[in-house]
Amino acid sequence: MTSIFTVSVDSVEGSTLRGRVHIINPDVPSVPKKTVFPLSLLVDAWWHLNNGFLHNEDDEEGGGDRYPFTTEQGEGITASMRLKDEFSKLYELILGKRIRVTKDGYLLADDGKTVLEPRRKAKDVYELDSGRGHDGMSHFVMTPGNAEEFSQWAADVVTLYDISPYRNVPLLSEVAALENPDESWDPEEPDGPADLDDYAVWELLGPRPFADLPYAEIVVTVSDAGYLEHMAAGMRWATTMTGHVC
């Protein structure tokens, strides 16, 4: 799945995180305003670290991943988190739970080999969505996410979520100059930030380095500092999260 945003963490102090969300995909040209979004970012960072996918690929111009610890240290942090079981549950609420099955759909144990007794098909035990596949260990099917429960959890966890005005947004006059290079901007016309929904804006943004792409600063305060235990100043990663539950 194509990344939607790049998230940078500037500071973590107690129960409050401050950072930036760069908009890198014109298909989603705004930072979601609901509290499910910052909670989904915390879950996404946990998942990347827990699976060893977030490590230092620092590329300042390109906006690559950055984490101030090694992959092994990141995995150790998630393994020792006080709320790690909650993060597992939150991840399933967003993307659904992976259920291991035989080729014929019978439930397997976590080892991906042992057929559970009594023998039952996953479809007879769980509500399933269309997700299915094979991950190298076994076949699997997926349960759907739970938007209502995740939304309620976000309301309980995120006590403050603030988004700044967007930075680095091209001006209307800049976009006009790109679209009509032979026409000068009328100084009588009001100028100001262009609409990020306008694809012409993204033609202008295309050649710009990561640091010059549009972004908003965010402040997130949570009800328990344990939800930020895996977050660190200086980390950055690309995400597909928008707060939408599958």
Q: What is the pLDDT of residues 185-218, one digit of tens each?
A: 888 889 999 999 998 999 999 899 999 999 999 9
Please, what sign has the CA dihedral across residues 135, 137, 139, 144? negative
Residues 21/219, Cβ–Cβ less than 8 Å? no
pLDDT value for 53: 86
Helix, strand, coil percentages (3-state) for the chain, rounded to 5, are 30, 20, 50
pLDDT value for 91: 93
Binned at pLDDT 50, 70 and 90, residue 229 comes out as: very high
Average pLDDT value for the chain? 91
Structure tokens of 146? 């739970």
pLDDT value for 59: 55
Residues 63/236, Cβ–Cβ less than 8 Å? yes
Please, what sign has the CA dihedral across residues 171, 173, 176, 181? negative
Q: Is 10 helix (H, G, I), strand (E, B) or coil?
A: strand
pLDDT value for 238: 93
Determine the Cα–Cα distance for residues 80 and 19; give it in Å rounded to an integer: 24
Q: Kindly state the average pLDDT of the residues 42-57.
A: 87
pLDDT value for 202: 94
Residues 6+ away with beta carbon under 8 Å from 174? 194, 204
Q: Which amino acid makes up residue 236?
A: R
Write b or e for each residue in 110-145: b if 16 or more Cβ atoms lie within 10 A of its Cβ, otherwise e.
eebeeeeeeeeebeeebebeeeeeeeeebbbbbbbb
Q: Kindly state the average pLDDT of the residues 110-132.
A: 89
Q: Kindly state the average pLDDT of the residues 170-179.
A: 91
pLDDT at 147 over 80: yes
DSSP secondary-structure letter at 225? G
Strands 215-222 and 16-23: antiparallel
How many residues belong to the chain?
246
Determine the Cα–Cα distance for residues 194 and 171; give it in Å rounded to an integer: 5
